């Protein structure tokens, strides 16, 4: 095996072909247990500092369009892109979670957990209403020390309820006496930071108005300029929305 390539044969190692970095998508009738694993401060060793909090990113974007996906809106391009696509704006929030191995009712698969297997680190993009629900849970049950059980009641419209768990499974790994389990916790943190590097791409696509016109088949006159992502304070962003 070399960097970037995977060696496999029929029935041996080819499960890796099915793996891809994908966003978390809730399923109707399923309860998932998750830890927030992207933080706003890290030590020199790459671990969350004492007192660090889960980190979020947010933006204003277009609604989904099959021709361009969802496009980032900035003060410079907002009005023009909305006019070109004839759509409305929406706000979205994103973070990185570790989804633990459970059954459909959210009961932990203890054998997988003890073996350090079955977890998935994924970006999660959601609406400001869910952010406020999670923020309210965090007031009484800080998510640095508690997992969140997330039950999806409608997968089409991503309607969910949130219940705090009594402990954080990430903490159990990081504070385990077994060094192999500690290593699993460190691996989750490292994977979360890698996933977070692409969080803005998960939120929206950065395009100029001319790039949007070209993508939908309109004639384009040569021009420059473009938008950029801003890692804004999400609470301030939501104050403008709610």
Q: Kindly state the DSSP code that residue 64 receives in the 8-state scheme.
A: P
Residue 160's domain comprises 22-60+91-200
Classify residue 217: in a domain, yes or no. Answer: no
More confident residue, 171 or 13: 171
Report the SS3 class of residue 137: helix
Residue 131 lies in a domain: yes
User: ∠127-73-232 over CA atoms, to 5°?
Assistant: 65
Q: How far apart are CA 230 and CA 227, in angstroms?
A: 10
Indicate the burial class of 95 (C-beta count within 10 angstroms; 0-12, 13-18, 19 or more): buried
Per-residue pLDDT tens over the stretch 36-79: 999 999 999 999 999 999 999 999 999 999 999 999 999 999 99
pLDDT for the residue 178: 96
d(CA 160, CA 154): 7
Looking at every residue in the chain, the average pLDDT score rounds to: 87
Residue at 83 is within a domain: no
Domain membership flag for residue 125? yes
Q: Residue 235 pLDDT more than 80?
A: no
Which one has a higher pLDDT value, 241 or 23? 23
As for how many domains the chain has, the answer is 1
Q: Where are the beta strands (DSSP E) in 128-208?
A: 148-154, 159-164
Distance from C-alpha of 37 to C-alpha of 190, rounded to nearest angstrom: 9
**Angle at the Cα of 236 from the Cα atoms of 24 and 127, rounded to 5 degrees:** 25
Q: Is 108 exposed, middle or buried (0-12, 13-18, 19+ CB in 10 A)?
A: middle
Note the pLDDT of residue 237. Answer: 54
The answer to the question of residue 239 being in a domain is no
- 155 lies in a domain? yes
Question: Is 166 within a domain?
Answer: yes
d(CA 52, CA 193): 14
Tens digit of each residue's pLDDT (9 = 90 or more) over 135-194:
999 999 999 999 999 999 998 878 999 999 999 999 999 999 999 999 999 999 999 999
Contact 186, 174 (CB under 8 A): yes
For residue 18, the model assigns a pLDDT of 43
* Residue 86 counted as domain residue: no
pLDDT score recorded for residue 16: 41
- Distance in angstroms (rounded) separating the CA atoms of residues 150 and 56: 18
CA-based max dimension of the chain? 64
- Is residue 30 exposed (0-12), middle (13-18) or buried (19+ Cβ within 10 Å)? middle
């Amino acid at each position: 095996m070399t960097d970037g390539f995977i060696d496999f044969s029929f029935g041996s190692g080819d499960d890796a072909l099915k793996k891809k970095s994908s966003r978390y998508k809730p399923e109707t009738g399923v309860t998932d247990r998750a830890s927030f694993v992207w933080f706003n401060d890290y030590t020199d060793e790459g671990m969350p500092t004492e007192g660090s909090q889960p980190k979020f990113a947010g933006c204003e974007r277009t609604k989904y369009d099959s021709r361009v996906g969802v496009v980032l809106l900035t003060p410079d391009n907002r009005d023009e892109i909305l006019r070109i696509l004839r759509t409305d704006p929406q706000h979205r929030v994103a973070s990185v979670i570790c989804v633990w191995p459970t059954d459909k009712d959210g009961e932990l698969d203890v054998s997988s957990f003890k073996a350090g297997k079955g977890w998935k680190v994924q970006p999660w993009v959601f609406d400001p209403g869910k952010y406020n629900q999670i923020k309210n849970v965090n007031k009484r049950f800080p998510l640095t020390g508690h997992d969140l059980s997330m039950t999806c009641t409608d997968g089409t419209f991503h309607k969910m309820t949130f219940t705090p768990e009594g402990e954080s499974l990430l903490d159990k790994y990081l504070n385990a006496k077994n060094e192999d389990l500690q290593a699993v916790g460190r691996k989750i943190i490292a994977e979360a930071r890698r996933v977070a590097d692409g969080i803005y791409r998960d939120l929206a696509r950065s395009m100029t108005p001319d790039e949007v016109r070209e993508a939908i088949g309109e004639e384009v006159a040569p021009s420059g300029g473009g938008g950029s992502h801003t890692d804004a304070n999400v609470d301030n962003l939501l104050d403008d929305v709610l």
